[in-house]
Amino acid sequence: MYSVEEIKELLRAFDASKATRLEIIGENGQVLTIAQKSCRAVVSEPAVVTPIYDAPVEKVPAAPFIHEEEKQENEGTAVTSPMVGVFYAAPSPDQEPYVSVGTKVNKGDVLCLVEAMKLMNEVTAEQSGTITAVCVDNGQVVEYGQTLFMIK
């Protein structure tokens, strides 16, 4: 088949490419398949965009992180994302959200799902109380530690 160094070189070249799948069939019929997700999260400094012409620029709202002042207004405890992933408010698209503003929850109740690497992870309430704010939208990518809900 291939030596370890040849495979390492293939992996480096594959990782540097935009390809999502590579399949190599050896002379003896052995198959080597390398696959990666097509969507990569890239964290970088925000780009500075200079308009080409003087036209009104529509401002895009910032990510829905709750700032310290808003946390004080909402009064309560923040429920944060335990991982990077996609936030889902309901168990499936055709069902009602687990919780909404005003919902009373008990410690251990499921509040939402965060999908990471094709696995659905339940986020549960760490305390009993009432949901005072839902801080993210359904289907939104969330970061580790990002505030999802406020409970009072």
What are 126's two structure tokens?
A: 């760490």
Helices (H), the chain: 4-16, 68-74
Query: What is the Cβ-side half-sphere exposure of residue 101, based on CA atoms within 13 angstroms?
Result: 7
Burial state string for 52-83 with b = 16 or more CB within 10 A and e = fewer than 16 = eeeeeeeeeeeeeebeeeebeebebbbbbbbe
Stretch 99-108: mean pLDDT, rounded?
91
What integer pLDDT is reported at residue 87 of this predicted model? 93
Say whether pTM exceeds 0.75. Answer: no
Top pLDDT among 16 and 105 is at 105
Q: Is the pLDDT of residue 10 over 90?
A: no
As a CATH number, domain 68-151 is 2.40.50.100
**No. of H helices and E strands in the chain?**
2, 10
Q: What is the distance between the alpha carbons of residues 123 and 115, in angstroms, rounded to a whole number?
A: 10
Cβ(134)–Cβ(101) under 8 Å? yes
Distance of CA 130 to the CA centre of its chain: 25
For position 39, what pLDDT does the model report? 45
Q: What does pLDDT average to over the chain?
A: 76
Every domain range in the chain assigned CATH 2.40.50.100: 68-151
